[in-house]
């Protein structure tokens, strides 16, 4: 089992997959291996009935369609690229959820920022919302990525190994100047108290604390800051194609989800009650 995982890791890294994708694929395939062995089967056989049972088990335990598709993608990659199996895995992807993203209002964003007293934490939340950053992007942001004069952020090797430019809020310029003062261009903008980078989990805790202190009951996550960025730009009349570029979406259909969140026609309808 371990030799297969090692080969999988090597292949993914040779193809320049991101560290998070490598870890996710390895975890998915490892759990699949355990399931195969518990059922008395052989990994080498690639039994599709076993694979279907594995995915159904994940579904029955409450895994989301996105998670199930991640398992399926990882296992397909393993058999296609590592085992060189001539047999294709003829299993359809799980139907994706049509849930709308959780969006915070301007007032809610301001309340979260206001109740976050730690200046570094407050800047993390403010910049993530104001520039539409993913949690992985804010924690890996480097001094050289910031252009405080042109009010832009150059994100390098973002999701999909692509670069993109996004906006930098003018009201955060002074705070960012103070945050990066004395740092080298390759240093992280936000570091942990013990040195090194922050983790995804730490950023999420920072956000959750602000959400709780602000008394907001929505099921929001750190990623809701990015959803709110896109929705508020759309509400302000920004062309959706520009929003697509700022978010780094490859397909315009991904960005169009925000038109459903901010549909003015629905908001103008009055309830008959």
Tell me if residue 159 is catalytic.
Answer: yes
Q: How confident is the model at residue 193 (pLDDT cuts 50, 70, 90)?
A: confident
Q: Could you tell me the residue ranges of all domains in the chain?
A: 2-82, 106-262
pTM over cut 0.85 = no
Q: Is the pLDDT of residue 225 over 70?
A: yes
2-82 carries CATH number 1.10.3720.10 = no
Q: How confident is the model at residue 25 (pLDDT cuts 50, 70, 90)?
A: very high
What CATH number does the domain located at 106-262 have?
Answer: 1.10.443.10
**pLDDT tens per residue, range 51-66:** 999 999 998 888 888 8
Q: How confident is the model at residue 158 (pLDDT cuts 50, 70, 90)?
A: low
Give DSSP secondary structure letters for the chain: -HHHHHHHHHHHHHTT--HHHHHHHHHHHHHHHHHHHHTT--GGG--HHHHHHHHHHHHHTT--HHHHHHHHHHHHHIIIIIS--SS----PPPPPP-PPPP---HHHHHHHHHH--SHHHHHHHHHHHHHT--HHHHHT-BGGGEETTTTEEEEEEETTTEEEEEE--GGGHHHHHHHHTT--TTSBSSB-TTSSBPPHHHHHHHHHHHHHHTT--S---THHHHHHHHHHHHHTT--HHHHHHHHT-SSHHHHTHHHHHT-HHHHTPPP--
**pLDDT tens per residue, range 93-142:** 666 666 788 999 999 999 999 999 999 999 999 999 999 999 999 999 99
Tell me if residue 226 is catalytic.
Answer: yes
Task: Name the catalytic one among 58, 122, 226, 232.
Answer: 226
Q: How confident is the model at residue 147 (pLDDT cuts 50, 70, 90)?
A: very high
Q: Is the pLDDT of residue 262 over 80?
A: no
**pLDDT tens per residue, range 30-45:** 999 999 999 889 888 8
- 2-82 and 106-262 share one CATH topology? no
Q: Is the pLDDT of residue 144 over 80?
A: yes
- pLDDT score of 267: 63
Task: Name the catalytic one among 30, 80, 183, 223.
Answer: 223
Tracing tokens 């960025």 back to the chain, one arrives at 229
Task: Name the catalytic one among 159, 164, 183, 213.
Answer: 159
Task: Tell me the pLDDT of the chain averaged across its residues.
Answer: 89
Task: Name the catalytic one among 111, 134, 227, 232.
Answer: 134
Tell me if residue 134 is catalytic.
Answer: yes
Percent of the chain with pLDDT over 70: 93
- pLDDT score of 270: 73
């Amino acid at each position: 089992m371990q030799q297969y995982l090692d080969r999988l890791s090597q292949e993914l890294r040779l193809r320049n997959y991101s560290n998070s994708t490598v870890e996710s694929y390895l975890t998915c395939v490892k759990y699949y291996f355990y399931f195969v062995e518990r059922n008395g089967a052989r990994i080498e056989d690639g039994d599709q009935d076993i694979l279907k049972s594995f995915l159904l088990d994940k579904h029955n335990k409450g895994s989301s369609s996105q998670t199930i598709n991640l398992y399926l993608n990882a296992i397909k990659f393993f058999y296609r690229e590592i085992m060189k199996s001539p047999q294709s895995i003829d299993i359809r992807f799980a139907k994706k959820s049509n849930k709308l993203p959780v969006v915070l209002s301007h007032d809610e964003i301001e309340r979260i920022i206001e109740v976050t007293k730690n200046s570094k934490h407050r800047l993390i939340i403010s910049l993530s919302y104001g520039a539409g950053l993913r949690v992985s992007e804010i924690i890996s942001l480097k001094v050289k990525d910031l252009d405080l004069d042109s009010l832009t952020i150059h994100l390098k090797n973002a999701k999909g190994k692509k670069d993109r430019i996004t906006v930098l809020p003018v009201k955060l310029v002074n705070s960012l100047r103070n945050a990066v003062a004395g740092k080298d261009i390759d240093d992280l903008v936000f570091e942990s108290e013990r040195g090194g980078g922050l983790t995804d989990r730490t950023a999420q805790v920072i956000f959750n604390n602000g959400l709780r202190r602000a008394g907001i009951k929505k099921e929001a996550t750190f990623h809701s800051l990015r959803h709110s960025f896109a929705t508020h730009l759309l509400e302000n009349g920004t062309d959706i194609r520009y929003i697509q570029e700022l978010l780094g979406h490859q397909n315009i259909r991904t960005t169009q989800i925000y038109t459903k969140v901010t549909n003015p026609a629905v908001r103008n309808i009055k309830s008959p009650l």
